[in-house]
Amino acid sequence: MIGEINSNLDIAMLVVFALVSLAILTALYRVFKGPTLGDRVVAVDLLGVLAVGFMALYSLVTGESVYLDAAIALALIAFLGTVAFARYYEIDNRRRKARNPGPGASP
């Protein structure tokens, strides 16, 4: 756990954390509300990026450089989920179009 608050640097960090948390929660809202699958995937992708920021902040706050490695790893990997979903989405549509050429509505 992180210790108690003393200098104004800490207060600034807290504000930053608050903003990032707010960002994460709003993105979360989009994941649930998102009418189409695409919206949800975009929101999750954003969440991935915000998570990288979150971890970077952690390394800043705790002074541990180790968290940064985790942040880089995530930065490299996070988008793969999106690519995989996009692939599924496309193949699913290609198949749906092949089956009934009408304007297929995506789930």
Residues 45-104 close enough to bind other proteins by CB under 8 A: 45-95, 97, 101, 103-104
Please say whether the beta carbons of 84 and 90 come within 8 A. Answer: no
Residues 23-42 that bind other proteins (CB under 8 A): 23-32, 36-42
Q: How far is the CB of 35 from other proteins (least distance, A)?
A: 9
Site residue total, other proteins (CB under 8 A): 97
Output phi, psi for 104, to 5 deg.
-65, 130
What's the closest the beta carbon of residue 25 comes to other proteins, in angstroms?
Answer: 7
Q: How far is the CB of 11 from other proteins (least distance, A)?
A: 9
At its nearest, how many Å lie between other proteins and the CB of residue 68? Answer: 5
The CA–CA distances, whole Å, from 42 to 36, 37, 71 equal: 10, 9, 19
State the CB neighbour count (10 A cutoff) for residue 84: 11
Q: Is position 1 an interface residue for other proteins (rule: CB under 8 A)?
A: yes
b/e for 20-50, b at 16 or more Cβ within 10 A?
Answer: beebbeebeeeeeeeeeeeebbbbbbbbbeb
